[in-house]
């Protein structure tokens, strides 16, 4: 089970400052922010998403998520939280069968299908600190694929 704080959205302690990019992200579709620390208050984004979306899943990535297996287990646990029992087999496969032996692509494809089935059109999935998955790393390509 992933550490709870890793999957908790930030809470704003002061009134949110409206930024047009935050409103655009809440409107729907896929939005990617690549910004230096302090440019976008995550508390503001979380507040707007909670108001505009039905469910908000927030995952804070760390250096450990550079490992494809660690990231796969973390995101499979998110799917399990969204739809308990929906794809317990994915979580078990992620823990039992290391990708280099069984193949990462089928496991990440299954994760993508599970996320697509678990997230509705009014839901949001936020991957904070995605910079840990830099372009030189296999994990970013697997997640993007």
pLDDT digits (tens, 9 = 90+) for 132-141: 877 666 787 8
In this structure, of 9-18, 23-32, 44-53, 73-82, the range with the lowest mean pLDDT score is 9-18
102-116 burial string, b = 16+ CB within 10 Å, else e?
eebeebbebbeebbe
Give the phi and the psi of residue 46 in degrees, each rounded to 5: -60, -40
Region 23-50: mean pLDDT is 76
The domain segmentation of the chain, as residue ranges, is 4-144
pLDDT tens digits, 37-70:
777 788 888 888 888 888 888 888 888 888 888 8
- Considering the entire predicted model, what is its pTM? 0.72
Contact 105, 33 (CB under 8 A): no
């Amino acid at each position: 089970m992933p550490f709870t704080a890793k999957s908790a959205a930030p809470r704003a302690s002061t009134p949110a400052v409206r930024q047009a990019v935050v409103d655009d992200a809440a409107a729907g579709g896929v939005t990617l922010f690549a910004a230096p620390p302090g440019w976008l208050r995550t508390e503001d984004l979380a507040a707007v998403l909670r108001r505009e979306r039905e469910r908000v899943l927030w995952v804070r990535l760390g250096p450990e998520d550079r490992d494809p297996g660690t990231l796969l287990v973390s995101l499979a646990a998110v799917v399990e939280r969204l739809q308990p029992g929906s794809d317990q087999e994915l979580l078990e496969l992620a823990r039992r069968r290391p990708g280099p032996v069984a193949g990462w692509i089928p496991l990440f494809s299954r994760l993508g299908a599970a996320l697509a089935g678990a997230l509705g059109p009014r839901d949001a999935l936020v991957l904070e600190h995605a910079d840990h998955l830099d372009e030189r790393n296999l994990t970013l390509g697997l997640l993007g694929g």
